[in-house]
Amino acid sequence: MTDHTGFEFLVLEKDHLVAADMQGGLAAALPGCTVTHVLDPCDVVAHLQGWDESSRRQLVLVTKLTISQMEELGLDQLVASANAKLVLRQGDDPVEAAAARGSFSLPSPFVEEDLRALADHLLHQSAAA
């Protein structure tokens, strides 16, 4: 089994059950990854501002916020400045809009196969870098 300790997920989710399902699915798809659940965008801001890029870990923010909410909160700029990946759970924004910004679009609700597809996408991006 490959160790994927190089990935750290920050999951912004109000529903604890959804967050727990995501944590379990990501851990199964990327054994050794770290998943942190936060409830409030302010926690994301604090995490991104304190992110140390030299840690050699790939930070991945998973959220159901819309693109406009991300922009209003300034999270889009913080994600970019932290060199983090952004995963937008499908909702109000079209999949094409997420893709145009370089974001992965995760179905909502999601199943384990969706999380494996996300893991494959991240691993492919990591290998290409």
Sorted by where each begins, the domain ranges of the chain are: 7-128
pTM equals 0.92
The predicted model gives 79-96 an average pLDDT of 91
Residue 107: the pLDDT is 94
Burial of 12 from C-beta contacts in 10 A (0-12 / 13-18 / 19+) = buried
- Residue 128: the pLDDT is 74
Burial readout 62-90 (b: 16 or more C-beta within 10 A, e: otherwise) = bbbbebeebeeeebbebbeebebbbbbbb
Rounded distance between C-alpha atoms, residue 43 and residue 20, angstroms: 18
What is the CATH number that goes with domain 7-128?
Answer: 3.40.50.2300
C-alpha 86/C-alpha 61 separation (Å) is: 5
Specify the pLDDT at position 4.
63
Give per-residue pLDDT as tens, 34-49: 999 999 999 999 988 8
More confident residue, 66 or 52: 66
Q: pLDDT band for 127, please (50, 70, 90 cuts).
A: confident
